[in-house]
């Protein structure tokens, strides 16, 4: 049985190791795979994007543990999500928003304290609640034993761009979106999905990100001139903002969570 880990814990501290110790103490035969521990601290949308991009490449029945949890210690619920033949465990704060849009799914509020560590701290539910839940699920405890189905799981409002007031005087539409993820090369992955914004391929547009206006859609990173900032259709289907050979994140002063404005002209 496979368990994947996606957190904002980084790899400097002992936190990730401790979660693995708890899992392997309860379920010694599990194989654990790190997706990443470098989600920007508390960036729920970045975690949501990352697990949505990653999970489908694992075999069915894999358990995906996502611990980006600014509400740890409050009343936010731990949840177990079944979707697309995979299982997901994490806080009910929007980290699984993409899955809710991907098709039929079940969400359970985890309530069974017999499936957590005996002593639950207020600050480290990754260790005390989520890791043991994943281990018990891996060992065959059925989802129904974790808790009841709920239908009010939290969806992240900002995963889809919001249309904003039309500018007066010119024929255009305008949306406000956000940066879902900054990749290793500093490319900014926005929440504008090309299947919803196919007009970018044919109409003039302006994207405002950080201190820069972008007007060109390139087909490949290489198409951009040296230092030029362009939009491209990324491998995940989302519009990316990219600067040739340099980090667009640095050049534009953007990071995960930064706003992006799009205007399409008619």
**Contact residues: a copy of itself, CB under 8 A:** 2, 4, 6, 9-14, 16-18, 20-22, 24-25, 28, 31-38, 41, 50-51, 53-54, 57-59, 62, 121, 123-124, 127, 181-185, 235
Phi, psi values for residue 223, rounded to 5°: -70, -25
CB of 113 to a copy of itself, least distance (A): 19
- Whose Cβ is closer to a copy of itself: residue 252's or residue 264's? 252
Question: How are beta strands 229-233 and 238-243 bridged, if at all?
Answer: antiparallel
Q: Which helix (H) or strand (E) holds 49?
A: helix 44-54
Distance between CA atoms of 48 and 69, rounded to whole angstroms?
12
- Whose Cβ is closer to a copy of itself: residue 108's or residue 193's? 193
CB of 180 to a copy of itself, least distance (A): 12
Burial string for 136-168 (b: 16+ CB within 10 Å, else e) reads bbbeeeeeeebbeeeeebbebebbbbeeeeeee
- Whose Cβ is closer to a copy of itself: residue 127's or residue 136's? 127
- Whose Cβ is closer to a copy of itself: residue 47's or residue 229's? 47
User: Is 172 in a helix, a strand, or coil?
Assistant: strand
CB of 14 to a copy of itself, least distance (A): 4
Quick one: which of 66, 98, 67, 104 has its CA closest to 83? Answer: 104
- Whose Cβ is closer to a copy of itself: residue 117's or residue 208's? 117
């Amino acid at each position: 049985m496979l368990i994947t880990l996606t957190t904002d814990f980084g790899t400097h501290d002992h936190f990730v190791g401790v979660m693995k110790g708890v899992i392997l103490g309860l379920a010694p035969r599990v194989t654990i795979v790190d997706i990443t521990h470098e989600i920007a601290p508390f960036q729920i949308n970045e975690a949501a994007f990352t697990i949505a991009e990653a999970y489908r490449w694992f075999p069915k029945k894999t358990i995906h543990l996502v611990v980006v949890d600014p509400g740890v210690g409050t009343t936010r619920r731990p949840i177990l999500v079944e979707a697309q033949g995979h299982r997901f465990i994490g806080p009910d704060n929007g980290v699984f928003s993409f899955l809710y849009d991907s098709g039929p799914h079940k969400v359970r509020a985890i309530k069974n304290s017999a499936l957590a560590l005996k002593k639950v701290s207020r600050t480290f539910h990754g260790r005390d609640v989520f890791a043991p839940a994943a281990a018990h699920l891996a060992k065959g405890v059925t989802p129904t034993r974790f808790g009841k189905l709920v239908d009010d799981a939290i969806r992240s409002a900002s995963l889809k761009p919001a249309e904003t007031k039309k500018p007066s005087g010119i024929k255009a539409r305008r949306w406000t979106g956000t940066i879902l993820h900054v990749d290793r090369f500093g490319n900014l992955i926005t929440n504008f999905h090309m299947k919803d914004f196919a007009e970018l391929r044919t109409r003039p547009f302006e994207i405002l990100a950080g201190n820069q206006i972008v007007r060109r859609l390139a087909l490949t990173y290489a198409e951009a001139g040296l230092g030029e900032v362009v939009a491209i259709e990324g491998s995940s289907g989302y519009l990316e903002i990219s600067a040739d050979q340099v980090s667009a994140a640095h050049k534009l002063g953007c990071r995960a969570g930064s706003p992006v404005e799009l205007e399409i002209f008619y």
